[in-house]
Each structure stands twice: as structure tokens, then as C-alpha cells.
Structure 1
Amino acid sequence: MVRLFAGLVGLFFSGMLLLSFLFGAISYVSEPPAATAEHEFHEHPKKVAWSFNGPLGHYDRQQLQRGFKVYSEVCSACHSLRLVAFRDLKDLGYNDAELKAIAKARQVPDIDPATGEPTTRDGMPADHFPLVYPNDVAARAANNNAIPPDLSLITKARHDGSNYVHSLLTGYKEQPAELLKQFPDAKTPEGLHYNPYFANLNLAMAPPLSADDQVTYTDGTKATVDQMAQDVSAFLTWTAEPKMEARKATGRAVVFFLLIATILAYMAYQNIWANKEH
């Protein structure tokens, strides 16, 4: 009796679930959701042939150093790298003297040992990059009520992160007339900037890379807007995945080991059963 009752209850709920699905499907077909500006005009990131793509990919150290220069001279005014220590930059090819100079150029928070009051001091290689703003209130006050995100993990926090950052930095443009024609109420609000690669199309951050040669590359590379966007995107990929090369090397070694083990196992199988009658 109990089993019969449980079966009827299960059948009832299964039926209700099926009916809900059917009614939902009918409703979607008969009354499809209204189109929105975000859905119609949002664009997927442009693909870039990064040096670190694929199982054999690796970081281009010169590009990473150029990207760090773009971050330091353009992005660091608003965006922090709180999870990155100055000494981590040694992976980019900087020597100890250069690391000390990079760290010393920045002031990091400290405590005065004599008074116990907060103070600042020159950075050291063991320090992390200091926060740009002491708290969210200060960040909002300085950025039209928007909080600039920390960039340490930004390429992992966004789908197709490297391409997304590059597309976002190069994607600022005027609102298309077609958008305003279809959605008159979707005009970009005052103080925001139209960018089709951003989720809601309107971004509080003004174009950070607005002209060529905003930075001067020491290796002679032409600092076009697209080149600077690629370089800083590659650098931020490294900050999010500094061990990517080691991870890929381990993966290749594991695949090679499994391939050899599979061949040996097959040969052993053939040898064991070679003289056996079926």
C-alpha cells in the first residue's frame, strides 16, 4: 500500500513537471520574450592569435613587459593588482635591480613603529601592489559612483577573458543609429560610454587607450591602440595564470606518459595471449 501511494505521488509530480514544461514551451513560442538592446547589439569578443593559445602556447616575455608598462602608465591610476607581488615580475624577465626599482617607485601602506599611526613607505620586492583606493566609498567618489575592479584575475573572471579585455579596450564607439531607431529609450546615459562588448553596452570607464603612442616602448614596437590593448591583455592573462606554462608542460608530460603506457600495455597484452588458443 505504501509503495502504491509513493508511486502515485511520484507520478503526480512527474505529470505536473511535464505539464509545466509543455505550458512553458507553448508560452515561449506564442509570446516570445521582447527583444532588448543588450541582446540585439551585444558583440562577442574578437579573436586574437595569442602566443599562449593551445597546448604548446607560451608567454611572450617582451609582450608581457610591454603590457606591464601599459598597466603602469595607463591602468594603474584606477585599477589595483592586489594579488600580485613585485617579486612576481621576475617571471617577466626583470632582474633583481629592476624589481627593486619598480617596487621603490610605489608607496605601500605601513605602520609607524614609533607612534603606531598608519603611514607609507617605499615598496620592496616582497610587497604586493598597493590598492589604488583605501575603500569602495573612495573609489565610487572618484569614479562617478563606479568601482574600478581589481585586475589581478580579470581575465579569469570574464568569459574568453584575454579576447574580452582586448575587445573592450578597443571597442569604444558612437552608439549606432540603428540601435536608437529600434530602442529609443536605450540612449547611453550622460557620463557613460557606449561599448558593444560590455554586458549592458554602457560603461562608466572612459576609453583608457584613446590614441597611439600613449606609452613609449623601449623595444621599438609601435604603440598603436590595438598593440597596447593586446599587450596589456596578455599581461593581465599572466597575472591571472602565472603558472600557465608549467601547467601546460605538466599536461604534455602526462599525455606522453599515458601514450607510452598504453602502447606498453597493448604490447604486454599481445605477448601474454600470443600462444593462447581461443
Structure 2
Amino acid sequence: MIRIFSILAGAFFSVALLWSFGKGASSYVSEPPKPTVESVYHKHAEGPEGGFSFEGAFGKFDKQQLQRGFQVYTEVCATCHALKHVAFRDLKEIGYNEAEIKAIAAKYKVPEYNATTGEVKTHDGVAKDHFPPVVYGGQGSPPDLSLIAKARHGGPNYIYALLTGYQPQPAEVLKQFPDAKIPAGLNWNPYFANLNIAMPQPLVSEGQVSYKDGTKPTVEQMSADVSAFLMWTAEPKLEKRNQTGWPVLGFLLFAMVLAYMSYRTVWADKKH
């Protein structure tokens, strides 16, 4: 009796589910949802022409580019965005020597919490310290950039597209969506999720940063460099992982061939 009741209950819910699905599909076909301004004008993020040097299974970071990106971060982005998961000594991996790291760290005041007194004091940064929090005086809370390349779909391509994607709102937007006027204090960027972003355009003109290596600092170049740097902060072991992966795959392939040959040898005189 219980088995029959269970079968009937299961059949009832299955029929109800199929009916609900069929009704929803029919409604979608007969009355498709109206397009939204985001669905029409949001663009897929694309990276710089030629891509990044670290892309692909054999990709490697360009240390000169990472240093340029760090310069863009410190001179432009660091005003609002922190880098709390990166220690000053980590900069050794992108080509800075100990003296340079000490000089960079000394420019920062690092907060130090005293658990006994509850006081917060600051000291001059040293190599072992992490980049300190940023005190932002504006509205909102700018995100920390340490892991931003992993936290956003598209990673460095998204960062590059966002930085180079600021533009006036196209006139046809308001013709098609009269209620899509940009709210006060926001900016139009088709690569941002809802098209309107609070962050003003950070890289606005060529020469905003004077590169030490003589590279021409166009908006596109600066955007690509800081995007590469933020990819490194999010994936500092990317190169080592790529270098380790191929030997591991080679070993597994060799082990598979060896196992197959052993199998053929052991069972060669056996009949099924």
C-alpha cells in the first residue's frame, strides 16, 4: 500500500513539474521578455590587441610590463583602491631588488594594532608588511584590487576593457530606452555590468604616467600594463604552475604507457 502511494505521489509531482515547465515555455514563446538596456548594450570584455604575454599554457609574465603596471597602480589607482593581499617583499618577483623594495615600503605608513591597549599606531613600512588599507573619503567602498582579476569574469581582459571603455552615452540608448538616463554621479561604460559605474575614468589622457623605461604611455598601454600587474597580484604563481604542469603531464603519459606495457606482459599468456 505504501509503495503504491509513493508511486502515485511521485507521478503527481512529475506531472505537475512537466505541466509547469510546459506552461512556462509556452508563455516565453508567446510573450517573450522585453529586452533591457543591459542586455542590448552590455559588451563582452576584450583584451588589448595581441593579447597578454601570460596567456596560454606557455605564457609568461613580462616583468617590465608588471613594473609599469605597478607604477600605474601607485600613481593612479592607489588613491582609492587597496592591495592588502600583497606584501612589499613580493615585488621581488617582478624584478625589484631589496633596496628598491625598502624604498617603496618606506613611503607607506602601516597601521599596527596593539591588542593590550587597543590603540592603533603606524610605522614606516618594511619589506615584510603588506600594502596598507586606503582611507577613501568619497561615497561607496572601492574594492580591494589584490584579487580583482580572479573575482571578475574575463579577468585582465575585463579590467582592460573597463579602463578603456568610458564614453558618452550613445544617443540611441535613450531613444530605445527613455528611462535609461545616466543617474547623477555615474558614468557610462558598456563593459560594466549595469552600464553605469560610479568610478570616474581613471586613465584619461596620454602621458598621465611617465614611464621610467621610455614606453609611450597611451591610455591603452597604461590600461594593459595595470591589467597585467593585477593579474600577477591575483595569480603570482602562474608561471610556476605552467612550468610544473607540463612535466607532470609528461610523467603521467609515461606512467600510462608503462602500465599498459606491464599489463600486456603480465597477461600475455593468459586466455579468457
The answer to whether TM tops 0.5 is: yes
Q: Judge conservation of contact 2:47–2:160 (CA < 8 Å) in 1.
A: no
- What is the RMSD of the two structures over their aligned residues, measured on CA atoms? 1.9
The separation in 2 between residues aligned to 1:4 and 1:274, in whole angstroms, is 54
2:81 matched to 1:79?
yes
The separation in 2 between residues aligned to 1:174 and 1:183, in whole angstroms, is 16
Q: In structure 1, list runs of 5 or more residues that go unmatched.
A: 134-138
The separation in 2 between residues aligned to 1:6 and 1:246, in whole angstroms, is 56
Q: Judge conservation of contact 2:110–2:122 (CA < 8 Å) in 1.
A: yes
Q: Judge conservation of contact 2:86–2:130 (CA < 8 Å) in 1.
A: yes
Q: Deviations over 1:89-111 (max 9, x none)?
A: 11111111111001001111135
Letter in 1 for 2:218: T
- 1:35-114 aligned at under 5 Å gives the runs 35-48=35-48, 49-110=51-112
* Helix, strand or coil at the partner of 2:27: helix
Quote the offset at 1:235 in angstroms: 0.5
* Helix, strand or coil at the partner of 1:260: helix
Partner of 1:223: 217
Q: Does the C-alpha gap of structure 1 residues 42 and 116 become closer, same or farther in structure 2, counting only changes over 3 Å?
A: closer
The separation in 1 between residues aligned to 2:118 and 2:23, in whole angstroms, is 67
* Helix, strand or coil at the partner of 1:186: coil
The separation in 2 between residues aligned to 1:82 and 1:129, in whole angstroms, is 5
Partner of 1:232: 226
Quote the offset at 1:273 in angstroms: 4.9
Q: Deviations over 1:10-35 (max 9, x none)?
A: 11111111111101101111111111
The separation in 2 between residues aligned to 1:126 and 1:117, in whole angstroms, is 21
Q: Judge conservation of contact 2:88–2:101 (CA < 8 Å) in 1.
A: yes
Q: Judge conservation of contact 2:54–2:60 (CA < 8 Å) in 1.
A: yes
Q: Deviations over 1:246-265 (max 9, x none)?
A: 22222212211111112222
2:130 matched to 1:160?
no
Q: Does the C-alpha gap of structure 1 residues 5 and 238 become closer, same or farther in structure 2, counting only changes over 3 Å?
A: same
Q: In structure 2, list runs of 5 or more residues that go unmatched.
A: none
Identity of aligned residues (%): 60
Aligned length: 270
